[in-house]
Structure 1
Amino acid sequence: MPLPASRRAFCAHHYRDDPDLVERGGSRTWITRGVNLVIAVTEAQPGAVLARQGQPDEYMALLPAGTEVDLTAGGQNISCAAESLAIMPPGPSGVHLPKGGRITRIFTSRATDLATLAVNAGDYTSQPDSDVAPLCDWPAPPDGFRIRVYDLARYLAIDGPRIQPRVFRCTNLMVNVFAPWHDRRDPASLSPHWHEDFEQVSLGLQGHFIHHIRYPWGSDSTRWQADEHIACASPSVAIIPPPAIHTTQDVGEGTTRLVDIFAPPRADFALRPGFVLNETDYPLPDGPEATVNKSGGTMSPWQTSR
């Protein structure tokens, strides 16, 4: 049984809350952070350019289908309108949306300019959370840092199982962009699990969800906390601390879309051959089970994909 969690879960409800940043031209951005990462969801106005100057490390951008996007960095200029995941290199870069639209960017907490604007920034002003493994970089890609764009539709099995993981990583981040769900999860087949030393960050892109959370008890009954069942629509971001027991259930009608995000990358996912879909682009560290977070082999036997 895990020890009690030192932090409570947090959920940012972008669909009902005011933005944390309104940029010149009227683009609105909602920002949420965890110990090691920052998520920025932007409703961009036509012609908006989301620029980064002096970006210290790689970041990711989730590009929705039908939204025209021009990506620039390091002399590259790549245009796309498919539902894609882009990995952007360190240094100056830009995301241009000529017709506007919604876009999600995922950074590490080294993007301090954004981290300080997060709606929950006050939760991280004290000393670092000792329950979470520190951010560490995995080896750089052999062909160097550059823009990498992955067409998510290419990895969608039309007649595949309900839960289809689509896992990608870079040197500092990992995402699991689940295939869209068109039916609801069986409430008799949920998968409560816990992580020893990393946060579970879940980005709701479409539909409604309930994040079920149970905080482990210790010997001090004055610190016991009640279960939580956090209901949210989309877009929203849930930050679930270790070692809280958790599972997510999609509810309501229509299509639902969810993305799980981790920083640094999960060793247990990375060590499963073929599970990380862009594994050939990024080498593993030497002895990853000894040098990164204890994602593999140190979780509850309930551990599953959701």
Structure 2
Amino acid sequence: MKKIFVTAALVLAFMVTGQAQIVTPQASPKAVIEQKVGLTDVKIEYSRPSARGRSVYGELVPFGRMWRTGANANTIISFSNDVVIAGKTLKAGHYALYTQPKADSWDVIFYNDTNNWGLPEKYDDSKEVLRASVKPEFLSRPVETLTIGVNGLDNDYAFLEIAWEKTMIALKFEVPTKKMAMQSIDAVISGPSANDLFSAAQYYYQSNGDQNKALVWMNQAIAKFPNSADVPFYFLRQKSLIQAKLGDKKGAIETAKLSLAASEKAGNADYVKMNKDSINEWSRK
């Protein structure tokens, strides 16, 4: 019996040892930078190599060649809104960030395929969304580890900075803060949207709130449409349900008939059936 226990213990120890993984630090650890510029969210994910006594630009990173701008997988930059770089619009989204360093200027490249390990095996010009040129700056103090960040923050712009060794570039990008702020202001000043009013009325109906208030909101939502033919069938359906709950069966049937016609036009069989069933039910009472 003792021999069995010893054997089982050895097997268990072997299994635990076999499943263990060796954990060591990465040579180029990953970093994630998140920064809000005005009303735009910017995120950068990249791996950070260190110089470790090596000459970087001109040797480790040859001049004139495309550079992955980091280590390991693609360096990825994301924008939550459209931005403007060098007078050109870069659509909201995420991009692989490549550069082409030269002694007197750098090209910064936004590439819409982010699934490469470093540079693409075959570069596709059609995936290059935007390219901008920027002058490098000389740093008096060396930067040991590649550093990418967003600095020089303003409500309307910021700078994408890449610094390593004694070189830094700062690429300006503009964000649509004024446009977004004005849209937000206009939306609030002009009052709730039709969908806001619909949602409020629907909640009051479902939670047995004040149905008179819910009906007022539904009428306001419907009034947001200048053309009655444009009122969604589900708006009319919700109004009919509220009217029925208030005891106005005649009004509910009239509204349900409008919803029925609109849902038939839209080809929504579910709402067609629901409206027909409700009309039949309310007609019997």
Q: TM-score range by the shorter chain?
A: under 0.3
Length-normalised TM-score, structure 2:
0.18
Greater RCO, CA 8 A, separation 6+: 1
Instruction: Give the structure with the higher percent strand.
Output: 1
Length-normalised TM-score, structure 1:
0.17
